[in-house]
């Protein structure tokens, strides 16, 4: 199994359950591992044969910036649905962090796995 990853993608969005959180934008940090077969891209050296991580990142940035969820769980699930539905990915592990959400903790968040692990 080959893995294409995106680490520490910081995106501003409206996220949270409290009234004050609904009035501001906060940073969420997305980390993503996606299964794909890189052999064709490696042989051809063409982006058309690869899982384009820049396209994945741009799609997620656009979605997250324009979203307004209460829970990071919901945000993570919707992001996973986008990646699995729009890109040649059979399995993914997605982590969404909400830095500074809990006093004394660097970050809190969720990790989900979706799809069929090869």
CB 5 within 8 A of CB 24: no
Burial of 113 (0-12, 13-18, 19+ CB in 10 A): exposed
What does the pLDDT read at residue 117? 79
Query: What domains can you pick out in the chain, each with its CATH number?
Result: 2-103 (3.30.1130.10)
- Catalytic annotation present for 54: no
Catalytic residue among 23, 40, 58, 98: 98
pLDDT tens profile 19-49: 999 999 999 999 999 999 999 999 999 999 9
CB 72 within 8 A of CB 110: yes
How much of the chain exceeds pLDDT 70, in percent? 100
User: For 92-103, what is the mean pLDDT?
Assistant: 95
Cα 30 versus chain centre, distance: 5
What does the pLDDT read at residue 1? 82
pLDDT tens profile 70-95: 999 999 999 999 999 999 999 999 99
Q: Is 4 left (phi over 0), alpha (psi -120 to 50) or beta?
A: beta
Q: What is the DSSP letter of 104?
A: T
Half-sphere exposure of 101 (CA within 13 A, CB side): 21
């Amino acid at each position: 199994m080959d893995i294409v990853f995106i680490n520490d993608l910081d995106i501003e969005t409206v996220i949270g359950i409290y009234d004050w959180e609904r009035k501001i934008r906060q940073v969420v940090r997305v980390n993503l591992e996606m299964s794909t077969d890189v052999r064709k891209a490696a042989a051809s050296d063409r982006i058309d044969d690869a899982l384009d991580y820049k396209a994945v990142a741009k799609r997620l940035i656009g979605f997250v910036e324009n979203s307004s969820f209460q829970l990071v769980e919901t945000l993570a699930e919707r992001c996973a649905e986008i990646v699995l539905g729009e890109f040649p990915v059979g399995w993914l592990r997605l982590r969404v962090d909400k830095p500074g959400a809990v006093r004394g903790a660097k970050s809190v968040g969720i990790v989900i796995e979706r799809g069929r692990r090869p």
